[in-house]
Structure 1
Amino acid sequence: MDKISPDKGETLKSLFQTFVTGINNIKATAPRHFLDSIGLDFQKLHLGFNSGQFHHRKDNSFKAPFIELGILTKSDAPVRDNSMTAYTVFGDYSIIFPLKDKNGNITNFYAHRFKIQTPKGEYLNNEGIYPCFPSKRTTRLFLTENVIDSATLIQAEVLENRDAVIALRNGELTDDIKKAIEQLAELTQILVIGKEVCEVLIEQLKSLTTAQIVYAVSPLDSLNEFWLNHGTEGLLMFLEEIEPSANSTGFQMISDQEFFFKGQEVSYHIRGVISQNTTLLELDFEIEVDRSGDVLRDKFDLLKELETKKKIYFWTENNSLNSSQIILELKEIKAELDKVRREQGKPDKQRGFSTKQDKLAKQLLMSKDLFGQLNELIGKAGIVGEEKSRLLLYLISSSYKFKYNLHAVIHSEDMTTGSELATKIAGLIPETEQYYIDITSSRTFRYYGNSKINNKLILIPDYSGVTSSKAINDLKCLQAKGQIISDAPTKGDNGEVVTNRTEVNGHSSSIGACKNSKKYFEGQPRTVLVSMDNSSEQMQRLMEYDCLSMSGQIDEKAEEQAKELLQYIIRNIHPLEVINPHASALMLPLNVTNARMLTLQLNCFVSLVALFRQHQRGTDKQGRIVVTKEDIQTGLDLYLDALMVTIDELDAGTRDFFDKLKVLMMSQSEKEQTKLTSLDIQKALGISKSHTNRFLSILLDHEYVQKEGHRNQGFSYVVTNWDESNTIKQMILERLATHHDPNTMGHQNTDRH
């Protein structure tokens, strides 16, 4: 087929966009289930679905370019009207993988027809490469027999920096693949993975490159099948085993900082620490000529090829050595040192896609007791206590995926415990979808661009790292509106001062702990304030867990499995639209502070609850999830305590102190008339003097307690406002109970169906 013109390239691009829309359609369950069965994520791999109907009800001018490209072919199939023409569609009812040219433009399609009795793949033409042309800086290239196996390597995330993968055309090289390999000047190794060794292919590759060629036979029918059975860890072990051993190449690793390589004419003694910076590979070399004993001692950075070649040419000219052979040997040494670097810098091996965990996640999402099981699973993941708030925080943390995103701020007097809770909750979200912030400068958020935090969970364990730099206002703007638009003056080349506009977009959720949550976040439209359990019973549970952990009695493997399952649950919840026909039932009374803002928050949270139940119900005609009264009940049960923290004029720490003080007063013989000194309260509650005086001062300002006595005789305190919090809570419950059973409001949800 002739080279595709720009117009035809645009045709393929626009057609592929319809295929992408097709696979996202709510009705396209069959292709998504097929991809789930082979462990591929259509969003990550950017795949499409051809239902074979894109040309229906279109005129001849629309069909003409597709007929020219061979996507539509006239057919003799019967039609209902003689004026109509039947067409055979390329890749009818198939998963579409785009192939690209060297400029990154779509130039071909691979269609995997999964619905027919014997699934097969077909190409539109002979052009392009899947997934794309490799970077010119590629040092290691994987060649697989088919597109599915190449997609598997990408999905499994086993490719290192400067690795690339290409899918062969039915096990053979095309002209585009040959051209791509020829332009890889820094290539040191090609790993070919297939069902059997092909000598013809090896000879073809040798004629294209001087890189080392290694052929491996897949242990099962395909690389994809092997990955599904053995996971990413098994796939990594397989890839490591097929690479030649150090001894077979003449390379020996004497220690972490000393290496030896035996070449044809010279021997290489190499010393130094291998940097984990992948842009640097500088070590001390002693290159000794075997026949004369002459030695070159120099420092080589093997990534600076031109500089290395100059040194070698100059030295070999005076010693009558084959400079080309030595340069080839240095490339081999570089490949071996790269492998050592990967091993030294490799963290604990992460699991790839697990079909077992994915299946368990789908089963759990279908459970009638969904939220009860989720809460239990969160506990198994190592989050002790906090039974209601931990589930609330998990749902809010996951909201970055959806239109109804929220942000959680945990109020904590003990920042160690608060930060630990925030970090553990964030650990239940896929790691690739998190963004960690510890300390930041005042204007950092203004230069984030549009991808750094978009559709991610922002983890800020301790907000003091943000508040101390005065970046908190920018962060609050980003949380509230999802964007920051800022103007800044700059001086142009001609000396004139001009204004430049910077725009940052970041649809995200966030979680973090803050000591002054009321001060910084009160009145923020999408920020939910959450209090921690500061009871002595909770502190006892945490200390018992710490002791069990230190003594090795915690099953860390079971905790990791629980975390992983919760991450797979997040992956299986799709960002659908939600419609709430009962939204008016969630209107808060107007005399509640920030009633409109909190009503919107409550509606967003109920929408999150409905999204988690999407696998248990269908959608309406517009593909939307419809909120039920059961969703509202669950949302209220989880959100009500956070709502009370937000509307409370006291911060969570002071409220906790006041509740304990009331219990202490009622335990005395005089009950509500009890008067206690500051020292009595300190001793009874086990709180420091500074904290006690600060809390009492706040309570005095808000007229919750009254101070009696004289300076010479000492002061005592008496509670004057006993039930204001319960009064407000009861008022809200009565307002919301208009559409619900008041006897069940505010109690833990049991997820009854």
Structure 2
Amino acid sequence: MQSPLNTQNPNNYLFDTKHLKIQVLGGIRFNNLEAMRVTLGIQKVGKEQVLRQNIDLYNDTSIEKLTRKVAERLEIGTTIVRRDLDQLTNELENYRLEEVENQSKQYEKQVKVLTEKEIKEAREFLQSQNLIPNTQENIGKSGVIGEEINRLMMYLIFTSRKTNNPLQCISLGSSGAGKTHLQSKVSELIPEEDKIEMTVLSPNAFYYFNRTELRNKLILIEDLDGAESVLYPLRELQSKKKITKTVVHKDQKGVTKTMHLTVEGPVSVAGCTTQESIYEDNSNRSFLLHIDESQEQDEKIMFYQRQLSAGKVNHTEELQAKILLQNAQRLLRIITIKNPFAEFLTLPASVFKPRRTNAHYLQFIEAITFYKQHQKFHHIDKETGEEYIETSIEDIQEANELIKEVLLRKSDSLTGACRNHLENLKEYLKKQNQTQFTNSEIRRNLRVKETTLRRYNNQLLLENYIRKVQNKTTKSYAYQITNPEEYQDLKVLIDKALQDCMTQIQLATPPPTNPTKKTAVKPIKPKD
């Protein structure tokens, strides 16, 4: 049976009954399902008089008032008016639900079905003994220029979305340093169906996803400065792996009810910003990846740009590397990870907020173990029957090599931008073979804005990294670095702490009874 509701004109729906002709002026909204606010033009069949009214069709009191007004103005029975308005409400509701469902299907990302050849190539890649170096090489082949440590860490952090404790990351750097570009290029190595990219978010955006729509997904936020309104629910989703919002809803009879909107995680969240200090609550939950702004990195990028302009970039090789890494991600499945060496892993005393940093360190080791699941023997817990894999000493060594810079930054009392400035300052003074500097000299030679330099100097003076000195001859003031080797000393301290952990593990681990015998690897079959 054909519906009496005509929606061909999206700005003017038509609804004709035996007694009334009703226009829905401006159509209806599809993003507010708890209300049905419309503007109606109601006309009696055969008459020219039109009654126009703005109303929420889900408000029973308003419907009663409109029924009496239409009956009085158009000289028609209230029973007929109420029946036609109820039918209109039902038709609009069914149409809206159908359209919302169609829109969901339209934007739903289809899961790619791998061919036998693609499965074989991806499995062989994941089973290779040099998986981490091979991954690093393929990330480079896919078109990610430089940023060797950051890009590999970011890829592994994105991979952790499939674990029970996903990692988060924030890319930090000055404007135009390539934060968003790096995040975008690495995210291209993740399957489309596993990620959600966002630019601008409303305060309640996260609460209106389906309950499990975000589970084990990678959420990419282009600019955290444009997402300030959702930082709180985002933090809760990261920490508690679930967010709930209570809203008031009126049913068709106008009865007010309470609804709970729940969205479940876990999720891996990545974002970019230039303002490290503003997002401290979020940065505490995340790995902070400081973008390489060195001249060497500039040269790498500009060389690639010239190659691209000259048509000498092998796009086929880039695409093949990208597809291989995407397919490798598709073969990974959620599995429990146990780290038998966790009790030996301690952080340097210099690390700030050690509780959360320690959790990040252990989770990053788990992420590497998870990524190498196709090389691991799959154990079965005799008590619970749960399948799990174990972290190896090699996994911890690989994690330590990658995480040194993160731990170094976590142990630093300076912000990333201020630390970069101080290291550039040290390099400049070393080249000039001098120990003192003036503001005008640094502004001129390091090309730093006056306001920015003043901010850096205030922070460095406060933390006693530099001090004011007076020239005895000219009586003018200059600055001097208090300890040029402090950052190098901190690096040595962190290296020693990580090495001490490895020494303890090796001392506590008995040597293999047959060193030449390789551990059998239980093959993993991909999901259908």
TM exceeds 0.5? yes
What is the distance in 1 between the residues matched to 2:195 and 2:266?
13
Match of 2:346 among 569, 575, 587: 587
> 8 Å contact 1:427–1:563 — kept in the other structure?
yes
> 8 Å contact 1:486–1:502 — kept in the other structure?
yes
> 8 Å contact 1:480–1:525 — kept in the other structure?
no
User: Who is 1:686 aligned against?
Assistant: 447
> 8 Å contact 1:358–1:565 — kept in the other structure?
no
Match of 2:321 among 523, 542, 562: 562
Name the CA shift for 1:559/1:447 in 2 (closer, same or farther; >3 Å).
Answer: same
User: Who is 2:486 aligned against?
Assistant: 724
Task: Give the secondary-structure state (helix, strand or coil) at the position aligned to 1:718.
Answer: strand
2:416 aligned with 1:655, yes or no? no
User: Who is 2:150 aligned against?
Assistant: 389
Name the CA shift for 1:499/1:649 in 2 (closer, same or farther; >3 Å).
Answer: farther
Match of 2:430 among 651, 655, 666: 666
> 8 Å contact 2:404–2:495 — kept in the other structure?
no
Letter in 2 for 1:366: Q
CA shift, 1:721, in A, is 3.6
User: Who is 2:390 aligned against?
Assistant: 626
CA shift, 1:421, in A, is 0.4
CA shift, 1:373, in A, is 0.8
2:276 aligned with 1:514, yes or no? no
User: Who is 2:437 aligned against?
Assistant: 676
Q: Structure 1-normalised TM-score?
A: 0.49
> 8 Å contact 2:177–2:293 — kept in the other structure?
no
> 8 Å contact 2:467–2:482 — kept in the other structure?
yes
What is the distance in 2 between the residues matched to 1:722 and 1:492?
69
Name the CA shift for 1:549/1:638 in 2 (closer, same or farther; >3 Å).
Answer: same
CA displacement, residues 712-747 of structure 1 (integer Å, 9 cap, x when unaligned): 9764221114333333343333333334259x9xxx
- Shifted more, 604-613 versus 519-528: the winner is 519-528
Name the CA shift for 1:351/1:496 in 2 (closer, same or farther; >3 Å).
Answer: closer
Letter in 1 for 2:400: L
Match of 1:410 among 146, 163, 171: 171
Letter in 1 for 2:486: E
> 8 Å contact 1:521–1:527 — kept in the other structure?
no
Name the CA shift for 1:579/1:542 in 2 (closer, same or farther; >3 Å).
Answer: same
CA shift, 1:593, in A, is 1.6
CA displacement, residues 680-707 of structure 1 (integer Å, 9 cap, x when unaligned): 1123223333333332232223221123
Letter in 2 for 1:682: R
User: How many residues end up aligned between the 2 structures?
Assistant: 399
Task: Give the secondary-structure state (helix, strand or coil) at the position aligned to 1:737.
Answer: helix
What is the distance in 1 between the residues matched to 2:219 and 2:448?
33
2:293 aligned with 1:531, yes or no? no
User: Who is 1:229 aligned against?
Assistant: none
Match of 2:309 among 550, 553, 578: 550
User: Who is 1:300 aligned against?
Assistant: none
What is the distance in 2 between the residues matched to 1:281 and 1:498?
34
User: Who is 2:242 aligned against?
Assistant: 483
Task: Give the secondary-structure state (helix, strand or coil) at the position aligned to 1:667.
Answer: helix
User: Who is 1:461 aligned against?
Assistant: 222
What is the distance in 1 between the residues matched to 2:447 and 2:177?
19
Larger radius of gyration: 1
CA shift, 1:364, in A, is 1.5
Name the CA shift for 1:590/1:420 in 2 (closer, same or farther; >3 Å).
Answer: same
CA displacement, residues 522-576 of structure 1 (integer Å, 9 cap, x when unaligned): 5756411111111101011111212222332212222111111000111122211
Task: Give the secondary-structure state (helix, strand or coil) at the position aligned to 2:129.
Answer: coil
CA shift, 1:281, in A, is 10
User: Who is 1:735 aligned against?
Assistant: 497
> 8 Å contact 2:418–2:456 — kept in the other structure?
yes
What is the distance in 2 between the residues matched to 1:280 and 1:680?
70
Name the CA shift for 1:533/1:280 in 2 (closer, same or farther; >3 Å).
Answer: farther
Letter in 2 for 1:603: L
User: Who is 2:20 aligned against?
Assistant: none
What is the distance in 2 between the residues matched to 1:718 and 1:477?
44
2:160 aligned with 1:399, yes or no? yes
Letter in 2 for 1:706: R
Letter in 1 for 2:393: K
2:181 aligned with 1:420, yes or no? yes
CA displacement, residues 371-416 of structure 1 (integer Å, 9 cap, x when unaligned): 1110010000000001111111000011111113101111111356
> 8 Å contact 2:111–2:193 — kept in the other structure?
no
> 8 Å contact 2:404–2:494 — kept in the other structure?
no
User: Who is 1:228 aligned against?
Assistant: none
What is the distance in 2 between the residues matched to 1:364 and 1:626?
20
CA shift, 1:579, in A, is 0.6
Letter in 2 for 1:632: I
What is the distance in 2 between the residues matched to 1:647 and 1:493?
58
What is the distance in 1 between the residues matched to 2:453 and 2:115?
52
> 8 Å contact 1:408–1:527 — kept in the other structure?
yes
Name the CA shift for 1:690/1:544 in 2 (closer, same or farther; >3 Å).
Answer: farther
Task: Give the secondary-structure state (helix, strand or coil) at the position aligned to 2:377.
Answer: coil
What is the distance in 1 between the residues matched to 2:213 and 2:280?
23
What is the distance in 2 between the residues matched to 1:602 and 1:631?
12
CA displacement, residues 408-451 of structure 1 (integer Å, 9 cap, x when unaligned): 11111135610000001110000111101101122322333323
Name the CA shift for 1:493/1:723 in 2 (closer, same or farther; >3 Å).
Answer: farther
Task: Give the secondary-structure state (helix, strand or coil) at the position aligned to 1:681.
Answer: helix
Letter in 2 for 1:702: E
Letter in 2 for 1:480: S
CA shift, 1:648, in A, is 2.1
User: Who is 1:169 aligned against?
Assistant: none
What is the distance in 2 between the residues matched to 1:512 and 1:433?
16
What is the distance in 1 between the residues matched to 2:281 and 2:425?
25
> 8 Å contact 1:525–1:601 — kept in the other structure?
no
Name the CA shift for 1:615/1:352 in 2 (closer, same or farther; >3 Å).
Answer: closer
The 5 Å alignment of 1:157-556 reads: 353-415=114-176, 417-467=178-228, 470-487=229-246, 500-521=259-280, 526-556=285-315
- Shifted more, 607-616 versus 386-395: the winner is 607-616
What is the distance in 1 between the residues matched to 2:227 and 2:349?
34
User: Who is 2:513 aligned against?
Assistant: none
> 8 Å contact 2:136–2:148 — kept in the other structure?
yes
Match of 1:698 among 439, 450, 459: 459
What is the distance in 1 between the residues matched to 2:429 and 2:372?
45
Task: Give the secondary-structure state (helix, strand or coil) at the position aligned to 2:288.
Answer: strand
Letter in 2 for 1:561: Q
Name the CA shift for 1:488/1:713 in 2 (closer, same or farther; >3 Å).
Answer: farther
Task: Give the secondary-structure state (helix, strand or coil) at the position aligned to 2:437.
Answer: coil
Name the CA shift for 1:474/1:375 in 2 (closer, same or farther; >3 Å).
Answer: same
> 8 Å contact 1:364–1:370 — kept in the other structure?
yes
Q: Structure 2-normalised TM-score?
A: 0.68
CA shift, 1:630, in A, is 0.8
What is the distance in 2 between the residues matched to 1:455 and 1:654?
35
For structure 1, list consecutive stretches of 5 or more residues without a partner in the other structure.
1-182, 186-278, 283-344, 745-752
2:369 aligned with 1:610, yes or no? yes
Relative contact order (C-alpha < 8 Å, sep 6+): which is higher? Answer: 2
CA displacement, residues 54-89 of structure 1 (integer Å, 9 cap, x when unaligned): xxxxxxxxxxxxxxxxxxxxxxxxxxxxxxxxxxxx
* CA RMSD in angstroms, aligned pairs only: 3.3
CA shift, 1:668, in A, is 2.8
What is the distance in 2 between the residues matched to 1:412 and 1:358?
38
Letter in 2 for 1:720: T
User: Who is 1:179 aligned against?
Assistant: none
What is the distance in 2 between the residues matched to 1:352 and 1:484?
32
